[in-house]
Amino acid sequence: MTQIRLTGSAGALPLRRLALSAALACATFPAWPLDLKQAFEAALEQDANIRASRAAAEAGRERLPQARAQLLPNLSFSAGRNKNDLTSTAPNFFGQEQTTQNNYFSGNLALTLRLPLLRPASWAQYRQAEAQAEEADATLEKDLQNLTVRVGGAYFETLLADDQLALVLAQNTTYTTQLDAARKALAAGSGTRTDIDEAQARLDMAVAQELEARQQQDFTRRQLQTLVNQPIERLAPLDVERLQLLPPVPARVEDWVERAEQDSPEIQTLKAQLEGARQEVAKAQAGHYPTLDAIAQRSRSDSENVLNIRSSYNNTALGVQLSVPIFAGGYVNATVRQALAEQERIEQSLEAQRRQLGVRVHKEFRGINEGVLRVRALEQAVRSATQVVQSTRKSFAAGSRTQLDILNAEQQRVLALRDLAQARYVYLISRLRLQALAGGERHAAIAEINAWLQP
């Protein structure tokens, strides 16, 4: 068998060349664009707020086994050992005081089993822990739904910033062409100085707008990078041919409001808080009730009696322990009143949230329906503005239009394109927000919109 060994610089040189070639190939190969689904999956793993929410949910779930432990038997073991130096003085038979000194060890061992039989406060605390665990899960779900909206908003804001920059750059090219044409026309004797000044003014404004567009592009990209915690080179743009302008399903806003009141994680969070507040009232009222425990104990003690320091005792005890509260200075009544006030606060917060949720659902529902109409209207506006530009150029060539008319027509077309792009992204964001408010399946909502991006 032939062995190939790389030793010294002669063998390492081809390997280094191979590694350098691979690195150059990776550096020159274009990076794949990040789509919405990939951005959302990365944010699920990397977003610091979601990580904190997951940790908070785990901490909230641990309240349940803690409360359950208060209802289960408790087994404890205790042990002690002491060194005693006993000095005793007593009169003897003749009436004289006699001092006796003993040095000895004493000790005790005890194994105690306590079984709760009647503990109203512990049962209320257990039911409260169940509500708190549900609240932790609902809060996590709310944060995950909010992440859907945050990622979608950051993604489409970045795409909008890219579109606006592209439009501004196209404006710069158009205005530069118009400025050159105006200068040539003036040199040929068929133009005016006004045409040059108008084109120059538009070009200067476009340069300022380019600086603002680049700043906005950088800001939105960094905002998205914060969510996914990775550098972003390119994003998958919206494919207008694949985009489907669909109304909400179901088509009645009342159905969406009903679904939101049942499945919204915000409402579920407050409902769990309300149940926890009710159990807090029950726990406070339990301060008036007695408690009953069953106790079993096995103990051993050595030299526990100073009169007989050589004694040893083994004891087995079975019984019950009853504790009856009689008077606590008004503490229990005060805690009950405090718990009732807190319960009232959460009830009113739940009602306010339910009403506000209905308003938000109406807003996003109308945002989708009106977004469909707005996008279609702006698509027609773009076609009309494009036709105006073409007609104005032909009229300018015929001598019935001026250079200023062309500039105005171009600006109107760019504004229509900008408004159209913004309307499309607002429509998509409204779809994500409506699903999040209604507690819909977030992965399905992301996948639906992701299918409308360029692959």
Q: What is the pLDDT along the chain (455 residues), one digit of tens a residue?
A: 333 333 333 343 333 443 434 443 343 334 568 999 999 999 999 999 999 999 999 999 999 999 999 999 999 999 998 888 878 787 777 777 778 787 888 889 999 999 999 999 999 999 999 999 999 999 999 999 999 999 999 999 999 999 999 999 988 888 888 888 888 888 887 778 888 888 888 889 989 999 999 999 999 999 999 999 999 889 999 999 999 999 999 899 999 999 999 999 999 999 999 999 999 999 999 999 999 999 999 999 887 666 666 778 889 999 999 999 998 889 999 999 999 999 999 999 999 999 999 999 999 999 999 999 999 999 999 999 999 999 998 998 887 888 788 888 988 999 999 999 999 999 999 999 999 999 989 999 999 999 999 98
Angle, vertex CA 255, rays to CA 252 and CA 257, nearest 5: 110
pLDDT confidence of residue 307: 65
> Which of 150, 143, 148 is closest to 57 using CA atoms?
143
Give the integer Cα–Cα distance in Å for 455 and 453: 6
Q: Which residues 6+ apart lie within 8 Å of 378 measured at CB? A: 416, 419, 420, 423
pLDDT confidence of residue 2: 35
pLDDT confidence of residue 16: 43
pLDDT confidence of residue 22: 40
Give the integer Cα–Cα distance in Å for 49 and 151: 13
pLDDT confidence of residue 202: 85
Give the integer Cα–Cα distance in Å for 143 and 53: 7
Give the integer Cα–Cα distance in Å for 267 and 142: 9
Q: How many C-beta atoms lie closer than 10 Å to residue 72's C-beta?
A: 11
Give the integer Cα–Cα distance in Å for 432 and 368: 10
pLDDT confidence of residue 3: 38
pLDDT confidence of residue 83: 87
Q: How many C-beta atoms lie closer than 10 Å to residue 428's C-beta?
A: 24
Report the largest interatomic distance among the alpha carbons of the chain, rounded to a whole angstrom.
151
Burial 181-192 (b: 16+ CB within 10 A, else e): bbeeeeeeeebe
Starting at the edge strand found earlier in the chain, the sheet holding 312-323 runs 74-91, 97-118, 291-302, 312-323
Domain map (residue ranges) of the chain: 33-71+119-289+330-450, 103-118+290-324
pLDDT confidence of residue 11: 40
Give the integer Cα–Cα distance in Å for 455 and 34: 10
Give the integer Cα–Cα distance in Å for 135 and 60: 8
Give the integer Cα–Cα distance in Å for 434 and 264: 10
Write the single-letter amino acid at 179.
Answer: L
> For the domain 33-71+119-289+330-450, what is the CATH superfamily, name and number?
Outer membrane efflux proteins (OEP) (1.20.1600.10)
pLDDT confidence of residue 372: 95
End-to-end alpha-carbon separation of the chain, Å? 50
Give the integer Cα–Cα distance in Å for 393 and 388: 9
pLDDT confidence of residue 316: 92
Taking only Cα atoms into account, the Rg of the chain, rounded to an integer number of angstroms, comes to 40
pLDDT confidence of residue 382: 95
- What φ, ψ does residue 84 adopt, rounded to 5°? -115, 140
Tokens, residue 103: 């040095």
Q: How far is CA 147 from the centre of its chain?
A: 5
